[in-house]
Amino acid sequence: MVSRTPPRPVGSATRGTTHPNRLRRMDRWIAAVHGPVLRRAAEPVAVDLGYGAAPWTAVELLLRLRRTAPRVRVVGVEIDAGRVAAARPYEREGLTFGRGGFEVPLPGAPLLIRAANVLRQYDEGEVAAAWELLRARLAPADPVRGAGGGLLVEGTCDEIGRRHVWVALGPEGPRTVTFATRLVSLDRPSDLAERLPKALIHRNVPGEPVHMFLRDFDRAWAAAAPYASYGARQRWIAAVRALTADWPVRDGPARWRQGEVTVAWEALAPRW
């Protein structure tokens, strides 16, 4: 008889550390930007890849996405079988957990894959292959039905979610980079450099675009110091507005007010 043992998941287990509300900034951005696509889909599926030792991030993702897309289902995917078993008691309508890695072993193609603090432990040279595997699992766009394609959101944040940087990718490749922070805790925008995703964190050196961007952001922040008397939010908005003169900022004041700014990937992409 031929053995039909499941294939080994692709990837390595993360440290597994997580905290409630750690990914709230990323979740809110996803709901705002990708919510219309999730709402229009008949059976929208979102994946929380590498949720860690506790299932909190998957539970929160379901709650936040359902505010904008009531039919969404979330699947928590972990490479560690013990973590999957520990998460199973938290399953509910719309939320399940399963074992897997970058291959994302689901029967269909998800409309969202969120991979937060997963690639941080990998080498820079391994990022492209991981991105390719994950992008290949995304649902393609369907122009005939007017359906948008899937979205991969991959990034890193600090332990309590005050500072976060992520890359958004479609089936065709990377699209944007978003910087998000709790403004009252920010000294200067380049403080976010320590949370750059693996594809960019080693590129924060002179001559690389992401270094130039953070340098210009710090200068715009300093020039916007007079707005500080109106609060950190107004200073951030003024600094981001100044950045738009030289950088392809892809969002507007509604997102800036949240302590975010999104820039086209090609402007920050590494010079290989």
3-class DSSP state for residue 247?
coil
Say if residues 44 and 34 touch (Cβ distance below 8 Å): no
pLDDT of res. 122: 95
Which two three-digit tokens encode residue 191? 């403080």
Q: What is the mean predicted confidence (pLDDT) over 52-67?
A: 96
pLDDT confidence tier of residue 168, bands split at 50, 70 and 90 = very high
CA atoms within 13 A on the CB side of 108: 14
**For residue 213, what are the contacts with CB-CB under 8 A and spacing of at least 6?**
247, 263, 267, 268
Return the number of other C-beta atoms located less than 10 Å from residue 159's C-beta.
10
Residue 160 pLDDT exceeds 90 = yes
CA 18 → CA 21, 192, 250, 254, distances in Å? 9, 19, 30, 29
11 domain residue, yes or no: no
- Which structural domain, as residue segments, surrounds residue 258? 24-182+248-266
CA angle 11, 5, 94 (to 5 degrees): 65
Say if residues 57 and 18 touch (Cβ distance below 8 Å): yes
pLDDT of res. 119: 96
pLDDT by residue (tens digit) across 210-256?
A: 999 999 999 999 999 999 999 999 999 999 999 999 999 999 999 99
Predicted TM-score (pTM) of this structure = 0.94
Say if residues 94 and 172 touch (Cβ distance below 8 Å): no
100 domain residue, yes or no: yes
% of the chain at pLDDT higher than 70? 96
Overall domain count for the chain: 1
pLDDT by residue (tens digit) across 114-125?
A: 999 999 999 999
Query: 106 φ, ψ to 5°?
Result: -110, 155
175 domain residue, yes or no: yes
Residue 264 pLDDT exceeds 50 = yes
Query: 64 φ, ψ to 5°?
Result: -75, -40
Q: Compute the distance between CA of residue 175 and CA of residue 250 in angstroms, rounded to an integer.
A: 10
75 domain residue, yes or no: yes
pLDDT by residue (tens digit) across 83-119?
A: 999 999 999 999 999 999 999 999 999 999 999 999 9
205 domain residue, yes or no: no
233 domain residue, yes or no: no
What is the CATH classification number for the domain harbouring 76? 3.40.50
149 domain residue, yes or no: yes
pLDDT confidence tier of residue 13, bands split at 50, 70 and 90 = confident
CA angle 82, 113, 120 (to 5 degrees): 65
Q: Compute the distance between CA of residue 68 and CA of residue 65 in angstroms, rounded to an integer.
A: 6
85 domain residue, yes or no: yes
